[in-house]
Every structure is written in C-alpha cells, then in structure tokens.
Amino acid sequence: MNKLENKKILLVICGGIAAYKSLELIRLFKKMGASVKTVLTKNAQKFVTPLSITSLSQDKVYYDLFSHENESEMDHISLSRWADLILIAPITANTISKLSYGLADDLATTLILASNKKVFLAPAMNVRMWEHPSNKKNVNKLVDYGYNFIGPEIGDMACGEYGEGKMTEPENIINIIIKYFENLSKNKKLTALVTAGPTHEMIDPVRFISNKSSGKQGYEIANSLKNNGFETTLISGPTNLSPTNGINFIKVNTAEDMLNKCLECLPVDIAIFTAAVADYRVKKIHNQKIKKQEKLKLDLEQNVDILKHVSNHNSLRPKLVIGFAAETNNLRENSIKKLLEKNCDWIISNDVSNPEIGFNSENNKVSIFYKNQVEENLPKMSKSAIANEISNKIISYFN
C-alpha cells in the first residue's frame, strides 16, 4: 500500500558515515509512492555520490547554492516551497549548530531557514558529541524553534564506541513520517478555537482595566495547532502580536466582544481558553476623560465567565475544553477547584509570580490537570515548545 502516495519529500543529507542509510530512505520513500528531491551538503558528497542518489530518486541532486544550471529559480526557495515535508538524515552536530544560530552558508541551511514546512531531523554522531553540553543546548534551541527530532538511538557506532548517537533506522523514520501525515489528515477534520491576550474594559476614552498578559502562549498554541493540520480560529484581545498565515484571526477588545465571537464560532471540536479575560468591567463608561481627583470611585460588575459559559453549553459544548489558570499561590488547589467549578476537561496552570515565566516572558512552566484530577508537570521551556507539547497531547486525545 502506497501510504505516502503523492507526498513530496525533500531529503537533506549531511556528511557522516550514516549517510549511506539515506539511500535506503530514498528507496523506501519511492516504494511508498512519494516523490523525493535530495540536497547534499559538501561533506555528504564524500560519503554518497550524486549518481547513486539520482538512480534511486529518479530526480536530480541539488548541492550548489548558486547553481548555473538553474538561473531562473532560486533553489533554496523553490525546493522549500515544493516539499510537503523536509527530512535531514543524517544531521550532524555541525549542521545542528548552524541551524541553532540561524546560519545560512550553503544550500541546505539556507533552504531550511527559508522553509515554511515541517522539518524532521535524524541525528547521527559520536556519543560524546551528542552528549556535549554545547550540542545539547543547540538541540534544545531547535526543539524550541519547532523542529522535530527522530532519535538518535543507543547502539554500536562506526567509531567502535557504544552509546546514544546512532541514526534511527530508515524503516522507523519512514513509519514516523507516515504517522505524521496520517495525523495531519485526521486533524484536518477537526476545528479548534483559541482565545489569547488580555481584554480592555474601558473606564473612559483613555483609561481601561486590563492585565499583563502578552498573548504569546495563546498565539503559539494557535500556530502549533494550525501547523498540525487543525482548522484553527484565534480570537485575540489587544496585543502586539501577529498570527501566522492560515489562521482565522478575530481581533476583539472587551470581554463581552470575546464572548460573543466565541459563541459565533461554535460548534468546534476543541476550545482552548488562554486569554486573561478581565473579571470586572465598569458599569457605566464615562464619555469624556475623567479629570484627576483625590478619590475615584468606580462601580464595577462581573463579566461573564467565558470558559465556564462555553464549557457548560447544553448543545454546542466542544468535545475538548481546555482552560488556563494564572496563579500566584496554591497552584494545585486552585487549579483543581477551577477544573471542577468550570466543568472543563483540562486546566493548564502556571505560577505568574515568577518573573522568568508567564506574563511577557518567552518561557513558561506549566502543570496540566486532567478531569480525573491527575496532574502532569512540564519542565520550564519556551512557549512554542509548550504549545507543541499541548498540540501533541490533543492529537493523542483524539487519535
């Protein structure tokens, strides 16, 4: 069965003894019905030849950033746009380092930086190289950027040593990529709604009630869901962020606006409420700027709890409702209380009293509380990495 029928795979081969396995990868991709284009780095050409690759892929091999044979197109752009998926196998410590620092000094690294497609990396290197702190730091950066690692495995190496660093076998790499496309196909049938950012509750024409939310975590979750095939709508309060292309983006200002837009978007399969919605609004907004005075009394009323309202919707409740809780103390106790009171399926909580995580930070550290009150704690990582973790858990939930 051709499980990769009509899929377009761009295979990048780096220099290393494991490069010979790329030939088997090409054979298996072709057997599964995929089209394969191949890019060789300068060092890779010392281990596999363009002729052997062309024989298997039935396509030309690319290795020159400035090709005289193809002056009408820029290969680093055309190749990255052609592919449905990019696989670097093997990827060396050198190329991992280049990508982590955003270097683009050859065709391979330039097309990766220019790509808008999912990128999988299959490392192969000596165990000491893999475990070196600088390499580990670079790997973590690439995970934060959204790259997907396959392996490496533990085993005997060509250098005679034993340990982690062996390239994953081609059959296993193929199976992971098949699974990715299968999930992508399933996810396209699912709709997701994400709320993000703060809301502004006006006091007068120049003042409002709000909070410190930047919206970063919600935007990253929406981007990750979109990248994994979900039909995604992002409803955002006022932020300085821009969503990626392909997301249905709705801008709102107040909690009432956000509630109305959420209800208009129903039904959906997944609703994720990351927005820090203001709990209160002013009963009567002043038409003119309030002049400075010694004391100012504001008459406040509660906003509708959007998470609770949607989670308890009789006919249009999403199949999976996820709330967020920004806490400064008693995180577990408050999270479970919110989980039960608001009737949601998961609560994702973080401690915003720590300035290094949470509001206006690039990083976060969250705990996930499920409906059965089981708790799962994620380590501190970038908000994009957390978004990918949440997306993977959602995919597992539905599959």
Cite the active site residues: 159
CA 222 to each of CA 361, 374, 391: distance values in angstroms, whole numbers, following the listed order: 18, 25, 9
Residue with tokens 């120049």, as numbered in its chain: 206
Please give the single-letter amino acid code of residue 61.
V
**229-241 exposure pattern, b = at least 16 Cβ within 10 A, e = fewer:** bbbbbbbbbbbee
Q: What is the C-alpha separation between 170 and 385, in angstroms, rounded?
A: 26
Instruction: Give first-to-last CA distance, the chain, whole Å.
Output: 21
Greatest alpha-carbon span in the chain: 83
The answer to whether 348 and 322 are in contact (CB under 8 A) is: yes
Residue 83, exposed/middle/buried by CB under 10 A (0-12, 13-18, 19+)?
Answer: buried
What is the token pair recorded at 228? Answer: 């994994």
